[in-house]
A and B are shown apart, each in its own frame.
Chain A
Amino acid sequence: KAGVTQTPRYLIKTRGQQVTLSCSPISGHRSVSWYQQTPGQGLQFLFEYFSETQRNKGNFPGRFSGRQFSNSRSEMNVSTLELGDSALYLCASRTDWGRIGELFFGEGSRLTVL
C-alpha cells in the first residue's frame, strides 16, 4: 500500500509569490490534515479536510487555504508569501471521521521563501 505522497519535496519562492502544495493520502483514507513545522514554532496545525469539507482550521491567516478533491487528494495554497512562511509543510491522512487514531504522514514539502 503506497504511503502519503507530497509534491513537490522542495521549492524556493520569493516574497509576494504564491505556492500550491499537493498531498495524495493513503488509498481509502478520507481525512487529510496539514501541518506547518518550523524550528521556532514546532508543529502547528493548519487545517483538516474530510470528504471535501474543511472540518477544522488552525490559527493561520487567510493567506493559507486548502481544498480536497473527490478522490481525497488535497492541496494547500499560500498566497503573498512572507519570509516567515519558510517551513516544512506536512500532510497526514487517516482512515475516517470520528476518534482520531493514528496519523500517517508524508515526507513533507520544504518551502524556502527568499
Chain B
Amino acid sequence: SQQGEEDPQALSIQEGENATMNCSYKTSINNLQWYRQNSGRGLVHLILIRSNEREKHSGRLRVTLDTSKKSSSLLITASRAADTASYFCAEESTGANNLFFGTGTRLTVIP
C-alpha cells in the first residue's frame, strides 16, 4: 500500500495550546499536501509544500518537510475549538498523477 501514516492517530488539547501532527510517507514526492475534514464532510485543502521547500506558513499553520526522512509535520498554533477535525497528509509521488492520503489524525480542541 502506498498509504502514508500519521501520528498520533488522535490528539486532544486545550484551546490555546499548539497541536502538532506528523506524517510519514513512502515514495519520492513532487509535493506534500495537508487537508482537513470535519466529521462526515468533504476534505478542505490547507497547505501545499513542494519537495524543494523545507518550511511553509499559512496563518496559524506551519508545515515542515524533511525529504531525507520522508516525513512532514503540521503545527497549528493557538488552537481553537473550531479546529476540531481530522487532518490528513497527502503525497503526490513523482511520476504519479494522483494523491495518496495518510491515515489521518483526529484532533479535538477542548474549549
Interface residues, chain A, CB within 8 Å of chain B? 4, 33, 35, 42-45, 48, 55-56, 88, 90, 92, 97-108, 110
Contact = CB atoms under 8 A, between A and B. Distances in A.
B45 A104 contact: yes
A16 B88 CA distance: 33
Interface of B: 3, 30-31, 33, 35, 40-45, 48, 88, 90, 92, 96-104
Given A42-B3, A43-B88, A110 B100 contact: no
A90 B103 CA distance: 16
Given A42-B3, A103-B99, A107-B42, 10 more contacts: A33-B99, A35-B101, A43-B88, A43-B101, A44-B3, A55-B97, A56-B98, A100-B98, A103-B45, A105-B35
B42 A45 contact: no
B97 A45 contact: no
A78 to B, nearest CB: 19
Contacts of A101: 48
Nearest to B43: A105
B42 A99 contact: no
Given A100-B30, A100-B92, A45 B100 contact: yes
